[in-house]
Amino acid sequence: MIPFAIGVDLGGTNLRVAAVDTNGKILEKMTLGTEVTRGRDRVIHEMCSVIQGLAIKYRSSTGHLAGIGIGVPGIIEMQTGMVRESPNLPGWQDYPVRQDIEQRLGTNVVLENDANAAALGEKWLGAASNVDDMCMITLGTVVRGGIVLQGRIWHGMTGMAGELGHITADPNGPPCGCGNQGCLEQFASATAVKRMAVEAMAMGKAPELARAMDEDPEFSSKVVYQMAVQGDEPAREIFATVGKALGAVIADLVNIFNLPMYVIGGGVSLAWEAFAPALLQEVRKNSFVYRATAPVQATQGVQGTPIHDDALPARRSTIITRALLGSDAGLLGAARLPMIARDVKLPEQELRRA
């Protein structure tokens, strides 16, 4: 009998719940529309009934329930389990979410920022499974981040650490919703890719992109990527800008942390080939720590997958690579939360009993 946990990835449009065993095998995965417009209580009620259903089903067939982890798209105050800010979940702000869920389920749950959960998922079963320390940057409609040190999420003082999307990539860049100017998010999010395409069109610099936009009412960053792959120069320049901004920020992270791995995930990371050369070039230019630790292959340009060179065990390299788990990263990471929380709690409980 292998213990299992239940992970929840609460997105703005989807609520996904999975039963995952402690080896990382997904036993069952369910996707529900979140329908945030129907209100917070309704969403929490639906989430709890799905959790209860899965818990009962697999408790009898698989083994004991190791716990419940929930990834929430917002800033979580770890001590209180309150959601402090969540633009995607109106009405959840300053609400004791963890306490409410624990009361409904009659058991402890671990609440976590969903970007942190995604980083933990990639650390557990994805691109970073061979390292203890890593950070992940998720490029979606916004840019998020998570830092994992010694296999655990690094929370900072209150749980707000790792907001890597709001590190300044260019102090003269566009204003950001956070109040800063030139944040990474303003260059490397799907929203930013589309904005840069519209700006290039407005200046008359991107005739092919303008044609694509006329033809496609749902013109998005994906179309810009397809055009870049086809060799359209303005589209290629946009992704070079994405790569340069990512490179500037990752160079800082390399200089600060000297971690073995930096993982790029999220929808925009599918355009890896289009932005990775500029990214690696910028990191190499800006970070002497990277230059001293870059894998040999990275000097030749694009670096796709982690490099594990068994012939050179003494050589420790800085790997910058793309995520492997796609949208399951957050779900698997959420399921992992109670498993590692339990590792910590057990000795404490033993101590208290003694």
Binding site for Zn ion (CB under 5 A): 166, 176, 178, 180, 183
| Closer of 16 and 166 to Zn ion (Cβ) | 166
b or e along 269-301 (b: 16 or more beta carbons within 10 Å of the residue's beta carbon)? Answer: bebbebbbbbbbbbbbebbebbeebbbeebeee
**Nearest distance in Å: CB 163, Zn ion:** 8
**Nearest distance in Å: CB 175, Zn ion:** 9
Q: Which residue has the tokens 């399951």?
A: 328
| Closer of 81 and 165 to Zn ion (Cβ) | 165
Is 247 in contact with 279 (CB distance < 8 Å)? yes
**Nearest distance in Å: CB 165, Zn ion:** 7
| Closer of 147 and 201 to Zn ion (Cβ) | 147
What is the DSSP pairing of strand 152-153 with strand 261-265?
A: unpaired
**Nearest distance in Å: CB 166, Zn ion:** 4
Closest among 131, 170, 168, 165 to 146, alpha carbons compared: 165
User: What six digits make up the tokens of 196?
Assistant: 């840069």
Dihedrals φ, ψ of 293, to 5°? -125, 5
| Sheet containing strand 134-139, strands side by side | 152-153, 143-149, 134-139, 261-265, 319-322
**Nearest distance in Å: CB 167, Zn ion:** 8
| Closer of 22 and 88 to Zn ion (Cβ) | 88
What is the DSSP pairing of strand 134-139 with strand 110-113?
A: unpaired
**Nearest distance in Å: CB 264, Zn ion:** 18
- Reported residue count of the chain is 354
What is the DSSP pairing of strand 26-33 with strand 82-85?
A: unpaired
| Closer of 174 and 277 to Zn ion (Cβ) | 174
**Nearest distance in Å: CB 10, Zn ion:** 23
| Closer of 178 and 312 to Zn ion (Cβ) | 178
Q: What is the largest CA-CA distance in the chain?
A: 75
| Closer of 126 and 162 to Zn ion (Cβ) | 162
